[in-house]
């Protein structure tokens, strides 16, 4: 239990850092919005588990052998279901924000998606920590940046899909591809693979941070 709490704490550090960043930058992303996005991201793990339960490993397309079966398991059953569940939860969250707060979600889509991804990572770390300690420590340091970055892309895809459907689909599929590539690398038991996983997580997080900074600058404009 002590190790599990440590893993959850490590996974929470990016979310804490993001909140401090928003406060120091005086970004009008309130505590209530931050909490709602964080909880929405954590809640999105349950639809993902439901999708994965409906399509269990070893059935249908996941019964393929060799590389095709591994591709289907990693990119479709895992990455696609998790990003799809995040998309659905963010779609609901943005609808609520638009109706209740009367604020254009376009100005906060990347930020809300980033926070939602960090919330997903915190809960996912507890699940992996309880079931598999072989790669848990590596995941604790990399899964939060990875999910935060993918969440930012999914958040952008939600608002793009209405007026720019092609861009929205591309942005969503890019999140699935990045997520799948990260999961694929984690299945390679080599030190180089671990370094590559860290590189993917941090580089995509940097891209998400840049998108959030653009939203901050847009918020300052009249």
Q: Is the pLDDT of residue 169 over 60?
A: yes
What mean pLDDT is predicted for residues 4-10? 76
Express as a percent the part of the chain with pLDDT over 70: 84
Residue 191 — very low, low, confident or very high, per pLDDT cuts 50/70/90? Answer: confident
Residue 184 — very low, low, confident or very high, per pLDDT cuts 50/70/90? Answer: confident
Residue 132 has what pLDDT? 55
Question: Higher confidence at residue 125 or residue 146?
Answer: 146
Q: Is the pLDDT of residue 26 over 80?
A: yes
Average pLDDT of the residues of the chain: 84
Residues 185/96, Cβ–Cβ less than 8 Å: no
DSSP 167-208: HHHHHHHHHHHHHHHHHHHHTS-SHHHHHHHHHHHHHHHHHH
Q: Is the pLDDT of residue 12 over 80?
A: yes
The CB density around residue 216, as the number of other CB atoms within 10 Å, is 19
Q: Is the pLDDT of residue 209 over 60?
A: yes
Residue 84 has what pLDDT? 96
Tens digits of per-residue pLDDT, 50-81? Answer: 998 887 766 655 565 567 777 888 898 899 99
Model-wide pTM > 0.85? yes
């Amino acid at each position: 239990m002590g190790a599990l709490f440590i893993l959850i704490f490590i996974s929470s550090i990016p979310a804490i850092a993001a909140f401090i960043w928003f406060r120091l930058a005086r970004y009008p992303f309130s505590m209530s919005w931050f909490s709602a996005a964080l909880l929405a991201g954590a809640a999105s793990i349950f639809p993902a588990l439901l999708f994965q339960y409906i399509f269990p490993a070893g059935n249908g397309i996941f019964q393929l052998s060799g590389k095709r079966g591994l591709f289907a398991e990693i990119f479709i059953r895992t990455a696609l279901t998790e990003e799809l569940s995040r998309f659905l939860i963010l779609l609901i969250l943005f609808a609520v924000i638009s109706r209740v707060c009367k604020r254009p979600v376009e100005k906060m889509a990347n930020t809300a998606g980033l926070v939602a991804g960090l919330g997903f990572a915190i809960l996912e770390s507890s699940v992996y920590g309880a079931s598999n300690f072989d790669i848990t420590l590596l995941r604790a340091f990399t899964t939060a940046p990875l999910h935060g970055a993918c969440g930012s892309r999914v958040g952008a895809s939600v608002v793009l899909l209405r007026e720019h459907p092609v861009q929205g689909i591309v942005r969503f599929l890019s999140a699935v591809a990045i997520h799948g590539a990260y999961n694929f690398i984690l299945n390679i038991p080599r030190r180089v693979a671990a370094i590559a996983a860290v590189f993917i997580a941090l580089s995509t997080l940097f891209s998400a941070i840049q998108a959030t900074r653009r939203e901050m600058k847009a918020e300052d404009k009249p």
